[in-house]
Amino acid sequence: MNKLLKKILGFGLVCGSFWTTHSYGQDTLYLTFREAVSIAQSKNLDYKITENNLEVLRKEKQVATLSHLPTAGISTNLARQTGQQFQQVEGEIVVTNVTNEIVSSNLNLNMPVFNSGRRILDTQSADLALKAGEKGLDRAKQLVIFDVARRYLQVLLDEELLRIASENLENQKQQLVQIEGFVEAGLRTVSDLYNQQSEVARLESVKVDAEIQLENDRWSLSEYLQLDAGVIPVLEKVNPESERESFLEMELNQLYELAQSNRSDLTQQRLLSDSFKKDMQAVKAMYFPRINAFYSYNTFFTSLDSRSMREQLLRIYPQNTLGLSLVVPIFSSFQTRLDVTRSRVTYQNQLLRTESVDRKVFQDVKLAHQNYLAAIRKEKNAQVQVLAADEASKAVSERFRLGLSSFVDLATANQTLVRAQADQAQTVFTLYFQEVLMKYALGILEVED
């Protein structure tokens, strides 16, 4: 029976060694957190779409700004007329059957003089829309940082749990050697040896589970970063217990005020509300009369005139027209009224979205604050738990060595210690992540955080 258990244990060690070799036999990419965020921003679909949409908003603002300048256009027409042509000769109209080749050119300039402030409103709306787009890009960037941080920290936590599992396995292997010596010396029964061998085999499985979890979370991060197939990220370590920024001294209302002034998505919705309001006011300007200034330069050449093309185009036939046009809307089949209704509904819907985001900001801050406080309490409890479990494990180990405690007591004390160490690692990384989540909820998350 003893030899059979040793064979099983040896097979488990070989499998664990094969798994580790197979897992780390892939191409590795060493990454810092900043590099991971940079890769995610360059490949994240939503972030790239937001960035592309911002370019459209920049062009729209440029067009709105240039709309204050006159519009200009040049046109040239080439034509040939064959058949009866009407000509005025010595005060009479003469009809002849000839071919007439015509070249005409036109230069037209138009500029709105008065349109009830529509150009100004359109420019202001485009400027507000661009600022809203920039805020949306800032929030998209924070979302990428948050998503990378969540996956990044999970991998580091898995590495810490694997380290704890590996150390515990090595300690229990050493304990197995000691028990074998106790059994040979007659200080312990064979059942204690079998129990310890079973415990070592169980811990081998625990280590394998930790390795699998680590590989799964590594591949999850790799997939989010859209790394090449077969590339495994190896991450730079961070110290979750250093450079902490405490929010304990801040009340919920203070955090909410901070979020209101820093949340890019809330600012984006407010800017969009102002932009849509400007759009509605600009559409209402179509109810009122409009005045436009225009200038036109026209000239032409005809083959029926014997004079040269240059003389006809530049001296004989040029015409200059300069004037003002007044447009008074009277009836347009209620099209203007429809446009005003649409713009008003769009503005009202945007106000509803702004209120919804404002409520969401409060909920995010409240939940993040509650989870942050809970994480602090759990971390303190985990510290006490580890200290107590460590002292208990040492005491039971000494009593077991002296033959005053059973194997059950020893195994229970060791399992309690390992569980406490794992819980402490969980709470440390959880608190670190809750700080990241708090900064994300407040809208102050940066790569350096």
Using one digit for the tens of pLDDT, what is the confidence trace for 25-47? 467 889 999 999 999 999 999 99
* Together in a domain, 53 and 187: yes
Q: What pLDDT does 158 receive?
A: 93
Distance CA 210, CA 221 (A): 17
Q: Which of 328, 356, 385 marks a domain boundary?
A: 328
* Together in a domain, 279 and 395: yes
* Together in a domain, 392 and 308: no
In 3D, which of 73, 75, 78, 72 has the Cα closest to residue 105? 75
- Examine residue 89 and state whether it is found in any structural domain, yes or no: no
Tokens for 432?
Answer: 């670190």
* Together in a domain, 164 and 305: no
- Examine residue 91 and state whether it is found in any structural domain, yes or no: no
- Examine residue 64 and state whether it is found in any structural domain, yes or no: yes
Q: Are 429 and 153 in contact (CB under 8 A)?
A: yes
* Together in a domain, 309 and 395: no
Range of weakest confidence among 51-60, 96-105, 152-161, 344-353: 96-105
Start-to-end Cα distance in the chain: 56
Per-residue model confidence as pLDDT tens digits over 305-333: 788 888 888 888 899 999 999 999 998 88
* Together in a domain, 300 and 362: no
* Together in a domain, 283 and 319: no
Q: What pLDDT does 393 receive?
A: 82
Looking at the structure of the chain, the number of domains it has is: 2
Q: Which of 303, 328, 353 marks a domain boundary?
A: 328
- The CATH number assigned to the domain holding 233 equals 1.20.1600.10
Per-residue model confidence as pLDDT tens digits over 212-265: 999 999 999 999 999 888 888 889 888 776 656 678 888 999 999 999 999 999
- Examine residue 448 and state whether it is found in any structural domain, yes or no: no
Per-residue model confidence as pLDDT tens digits over 340-358: 999 999 999 999 999 999 9
Q: Residue 72 pLDDT more than 60?
A: yes
Residues whose CB is less than 8 angstroms from the CB of residue 409 and which lie 6 or more positions away in sequence, other chains included: 396, 399, 400
Q: Are strands 27-31 and 231-235 parallel, antiparallel or unpaired?
A: parallel
* Together in a domain, 61 and 74: no
Q: What pLDDT does 422 receive?
A: 87
* Together in a domain, 264 and 301: no
* Together in a domain, 296 and 408: no
The region that residue 83 occupies, defined by phi over 0 for left and psi between -120 and 50 for alpha, beta otherwise, is: left
Q: What are phi and psi of 320, to 5 degrees?
A: -115, 130
Distance CA 23, CA 276 (A): 55
* Together in a domain, 250 and 379: yes
Distance CA 2, CA 147 (A): 50
Per-residue model confidence as pLDDT tens digits over 166-194: 988 998 888 888 888 878 877 777 888 88
In 3D, which of 67, 66, 64 has the Cα closest to residue 126? 64
pTM of structure: 0.79
- Examine residue 449 and state whether it is found in any structural domain, yes or no: no
Residues whose CB is less than 8 angstroms from the CB of residue 448 and which lie 6 or more positions away in sequence, other chains included: none
Q: Are 427 and 382 in contact (CB under 8 A)?
A: yes
- Examine residue 153 and state whether it is found in any structural domain, yes or no: yes
101: domain range?
A: 70-81+96-114+289-328
CA 330 from chain center: how many Å?
Answer: 49
* Together in a domain, 200 and 180: yes
- Examine residue 311 and state whether it is found in any structural domain, yes or no: yes
Distance CA 220, CA 233 (A): 10
Q: Dihedral sign for Cα 231, 236, 241, 246, please.
A: negative
Average pLDDT, integer, range 132-140: 95
Q: Which of 278, 306, 328 marks a domain boundary?
A: 328
Give 17 or 285, the one with higher predicted confidence.
285
Sole residue written with tokens 């591949």: 219
Tokens for 370?
Answer: 């509650």
- Examine residue 185 and state whether it is found in any structural domain, yes or no: yes
Q: Give the rounded percent of residues in the chain with a pLDDT score beyond 90.
A: 49
